[in-house]
Amino acid sequence: MSTDRADQTGAQEERKLLYRCRRGTRELDCILTGFFELDYKNLDADQRQVFARFLEMEDCFLIDWLCNGHPVHEPQFRQIVKRILIVTGDFLTSE
């Protein structure tokens, strides 16, 4: 029974994160929801926490890092930005 509850809690947390991936700009929506759908389940627990914190950043930073190629000055986000760009690069160019 506790496994069912943990599964439900995990699914609920994933739905919340997916909702937070929808930022209101087409570019960020495509990149973040694309990454979530393609690779989120492959992240380990620490990487999932970093991704959740990443989604707390203001859109202007996310746009600069993900769309404009600006350097990521936040060390804790460098790896997740790199991974997002790698995972979504082919996805975005095929649309």
Query: How much is the pLDDT for 10?
Result: 74
When divided into structural domains, the chain yields a total of 1
Residue pair 35/28 in contact by the 8 Å Cβ criterion: no
Q: What is the number of alpha carbons within 13 Å of residue 73 lying toward its C-beta? A: 4
Query: How much is the pLDDT for 84?
Result: 97
Query: How much is the pLDDT for 19?
Result: 93
Residue type, 64: D
Query: How much is the pLDDT for 75?
Result: 95
- The DSSP-derived string for 34-88 is HHHHHHGGGS-HHHHHHHHHHTTS-HHHHHHHHTS------GGGHHHHHHHHHHH
Q: Which domain holds residue 71?
A: 2-93
Query: How much is the pLDDT for 91?
Result: 55
pTM for the model stands at 0.84
Query: How much is the pLDDT for 32?
Result: 97
Ranges of residues in the chain whose predicted pLDDT is under 50: 1
- Helix H or strand E encompassing 86: helix 78-93
What CATH number does residue 52 fall under? 1.10.150.250
